[in-house]
Amino acid sequence: MPIDYKKYGPNWKILRYKILDRAQGKCELCSAGIKEPHPITGSKVVLTVHHINFNIQDNRDYNLIALCQRCHLRLDMPNKVDKRKATKRLYEMSFRSIWGVRYSRYFTNKKDLQREVRKLKKQGIKAEIK
């Protein structure tokens, strides 16, 4: 999914450069150097800027840290898993409100749920996602 940098604030490019400059071209966790082979994976290191509190609008210096992609993904993983679980719960709650609890396990993502709603509408059954 492409990143929408507009959500990061008007001066994000300047802040990003400032944080990467502060890190002196190294990951602030594992010290992997930019454009060098990563000490663990061996792949070329690309530095990214991570929001420590996961709030992309909180661009204070002490909330931003320069990380290699490996460290960034490892730090983001728990947050992404929590978001995925919350999204799944939301879809299941929407489904329960339409058809009842016993069918919710069959639809774990929005596309399947939307497809089922379209099928029911074609059959003349009133259905919607709440």
Helix (H) or strand (E) holding 66: strand 64-68
Same domain, 35 and 20: yes
Residue 20: predicted pLDDT: 93
> 127 lies in a domain?
no
Same domain, 107 and 49: no
Domain that holds residue 27: 5-79
Residue 64: predicted pLDDT: 93
φ, ψ dihedrals at 27, nearest 5°:
-65, 130
pTM here is 0.61
> 28 lies in a domain?
yes
> 16 lies in a domain?
yes
Query: How confident is the prediction for the chain on average, in pLDDT?
Result: 79
> 100 lies in a domain?
yes
Q: Which of 33-42, 72-81, 95-104 has the lowest mean pLDDT?
A: 95-104
Residue 101: predicted pLDDT: 43
Same domain, 39 and 55: yes
> 129 lies in a domain?
no
Q: Which of 59-63, 66-70, 99-103 has the lowest mean pLDDT?
A: 99-103
pLDDT digits (tens, 9 = 90+) for 94-129: 655 555 444 545 556 677 777 777 777 777 766 666
> 17 lies in a domain?
yes
For the cut 70, the answer to whether the pLDDT of residue 67 exceeds it is yes
Note whether 77 and 106 are within 8 A (CB).
no
Same domain, 37 and 92: no
> 130 lies in a domain?
no
How many structural domains is the chain composed of? 2
